[in-house]
Amino acid sequence: MVQDGGFFVGGRWTNPRDRKRLETVNPATGEVIATFPQGTKEDVAAAVKAAKAAFEKWKRMPPPRRGEFLLEAARIFRRRKEELGRIVTMEMGKVIAEGRGDVQEAIDFYEYASGEGRRFMGYTVPSELPNKICFSIRLPVGPVGLITPWNFPIAIPGWKSGAALIAGCTVVLKPSSLTPLCGAKFAEVLEEAGLPPGVFNFVVGPGSTAGNALIRHPDIRAVSFTGGVDTGREVYKAAAERMIKAGLELGGKNPILVMDDADLDLLMDGVMFGAFGTAGQRCTATSRLIVHRAVYEDLLDRLLKRTAKLKVGDPLDAKTDMGPVASADQEKKTLEYVGIGKKEGDKLLIGGGKLRGGAYDRGFFVEPTIFEVKSEKRLAMEEIFGPVLSVIKVKDYGEAVAVANSVEYGLSSSIYTNDVRRAFAAMQDLEAGITYINAPTIGAEVQMPFGGVKSTGPTDTREAGFTALDEFTSVKTVYVDYSGRLQRAQIDTEKLVRE
C-alpha cells in the first residue's frame, strides 16, 4: 500500500492537499511506496517560525536534560531498527544489512550525543592579572536548517540533528526528495521521544524551492548540507551573504593505495565493500585503486574473480551483495561515465552495463564495473557515485601518493601495507580528512570527527566526534575580575612584571 506522508511542524503533522505530490519509488522494483506534498517557501517559513518559537525554552534547558530526549530517541530507533532498516532499503536500494547499519549509525550517534550534554565543555585558563578568572562557554547559534542526501537517509539526519539538538538549537530538516519517507519516519521517532513542539520540524520539497528558502530564511542561524560540490558552493555563498555558519560535506574520489607488501586477501575483502557497498553511492566509496606495479597483475586477477562472484539483485535478500542504484538519474549518470571511459580509451575489465531480464527490468541495476585507467583521465578524477572502480598502476609509494592527491577532493583514503614506516608516512602525506591503514575508505565511528579537505568541504566542518558541536555553537569568552579595582591587560601587566 502506498503511504500518504506529510510535514511535521510545531509538533503537528500536516498534509496540505493543495500541493503537487512527490512520489518516492523503490529502486529495485519501480513501485511507488509513498507520496508527499512538495513544500513551498511558505511551508518552510512555517517550519522556521515554529523552530524560532521553541528556541528560547529549548536552549535554556540544561544540556544533560536535552540529552535525555536524545537517549530516549536512541531507544526508539533501536526498537524500530528492523522496520526502519527495511524502509531505508526499499526507498534507496542499499542491501538490508546496510539498511540496518544506516539506522544503527543514528542510534550510535544519538547515544553519543546524549552524553555530550554532560561534557558541554569550554575551557579555563589562568589570567595574566591577579584576582581574575578567564573561561569560555558554548552557546547554541539558534534555529538551524539541515539539508540531507538520499544515500544515508537515517544516519546523516542523525549526525546532524543529534549535534544540533544537544547544542540547544532547534531544527528544520529537509531531506532529499528521493527519500522523504525515511525523513518522515525519523520525525516520528523524535515525536515519540517527546521533544517539545517546534524543536524538530520536517518539510519536504525540491532544493530549488524548499532548500533555497530554508538557507535564505532570516531566522535560520546555521545550515548543514551534505550533497554535491556545485550545490554546496551555492549553499556556502548564500550562508556567507548572511554571515551565518555553513557546515558542508560534499564529494569524494577516495583512493586505496596498494603497496608491494600488502596482504592481498585482506585487501580483496576491503575493496569489494569499499567499491561496491551501497552500489558505490557513498561519499567515502573506494573509487580509485592505486596499485604498486610489483603486485599489479596478481591483484587484477584476484579482483576480477571476486567481482564476477558478486550477487546483484533484491536488496532485501540477505544473500545479495549489491542492490540497485537509487534512481533512474543515478543509473543514467553511471552509464554515461562508463561511456566516457570507453570513449577516452580506458580499458573495461568487467561490467559496464545495465542488468536486464526478469526483476532487473523493473529496477535500476548496474553491473559492478572495473576499468584500467590512467590517473589523468576523467574516470580517475571525477566523482561518479556509482559502482565503478578505476584501477591505476604506479611504480612506487611516492607516485601512489601523488596520484592520490591529484584530485580536487579529500575525504577518505587508505593504504594497505605491512611497513609501519609507510603507514605513518601516509597518515601525513595523504590529503584527506580520514586515512585508514589496512581497511577500505569507509566512514568514521561516531566518536571521531568526520569530514574532508579541498572541495570535499571547509576544513572547519567536521561532523560527529568531539568536533560535532562546532557547527551549531558559538564560543563566548567570560572574564570575572574580583580584584575590586580596574585592571587593564597589556597595560597593567607590564607594571606587575617590574614590581
Taking the whole predicted model, whether its pTM rises above 0.85 is answered as: yes
Clarify whether residues 77 and 138 are in a common domain.
Answer: yes
Residue 34, strand partner residues: 3, 24
Q: Do 308 and 433 fall within a single domain?
A: yes
* In-domain check, residue 214: yes
pLDDT in tens, the chain (499 residues): 889 999 999 999 999 888 889 999 999 999 999 999 999 999 999 999 999 999 999 999 999 999 999 999 999 999 999 999 999 999 999 999 999 999 999 999 999 999 999 998 899 999 999 999 999 999 999 999 999 999 999 999 999 999 999 999 999 999 999 999 999 999 999 999 999 999 999 999 999 999 999 999 999 999 999 999 999 999 999 999 999 999 999 999 999 999 999 999 999 999 999 999 999 999 999 999 999 999 999 999 999 999 999 999 999 999 999 999 999 999 999 999 999 999 999 999 999 999 999 999 999 999 999 999 999 999 999 999 999 999 999 999 999 999 999 999 999 999 999 999 999 999 999 999 999 999 999 877 999 999 999 999 887 789 999 899 999 999 999 999 999 999 887 776 666 555 5
The CB density around residue 415, as the number of other CB atoms within 10 Å, is 28
285 within domain boundaries:
yes
Is residue 499 in some structural domain?
no
Q: Which three cell numbers stand for residue 5?
A: 506522508
Query: Residue 139's domain is classified under what CATH number?
Result: 3.40.605.10
| The pLDDT value given to residue 496 | 59
Q: Is the same domain home to 284 and 215?
A: no
Q: How far apart are CA 149 and CA 419, in angstroms?
A: 38
224, 370: one domain: no
CB 442 within 8 A of CB 284: yes
The reply to whether 245 and 353 lie within a common domain is no
* Residue 39 within any structural domain of the chain: yes
- Same-domain check for residues 139 and 153: yes
pLDDT of the residue at 498: 58
Query: Residue with C-alpha cell 528560547?
Result: 56
- Pair 221, 285 in one domain: no
**CA separation for the pair 388, 381 (Å, rounded):** 12
Quick one: cell of 343? 570513449
CA atoms of 64 and 118, how far apart (whole Å): 5
pLDDT of residue 330: 97
Domain carrying residue 70: 3-250+457-477
Whether residues 432 and 463 share a domain: the answer is: no
Q: Indicate whether 284 and 332 sit together in one domain.
A: yes
449 located within any domain: no
Which pLDDT score, from 0 to 100, does residue 499 have?
56
154 and 31: one domain? yes
C-alpha cell at 477: 569568552
Residues carrying an active site annotation: 249, 283
Q: What does the alpha-carbon distance between residue 196 and residue 223 come to, in Å, rounded to a whole number?
A: 21
106 belongs to a structural domain: yes
Q: Are residues 260 and 176 in the same domain?
A: no
In whole angstroms, what is the distance from residue 494 CA to residue 499 CA? 9
CA nearest to 290, candidates 266, 259, 269? 259
pLDDT at 285: 97
Facing residues of 206 across strands?
A: none
How many separate domains does the chain show?
Answer: 2
In 3D, which of 22, 18, 13, 32 has the Cα closest to residue 207? 22
What does the pLDDT read at residue 434?
96
Same domain, 391 and 362: yes
The Cα 133–Cα 127 span in angstroms is 6
Residues 263, 418 contacting (CB under 8 angstroms): yes
Residue with cell 570513449: 343
In a domain, 365, yes or no: yes
Whether 379 maps to a domain, the answer reads yes
What CATH code is carried by the domain that includes residue 293?
3.40.309.10
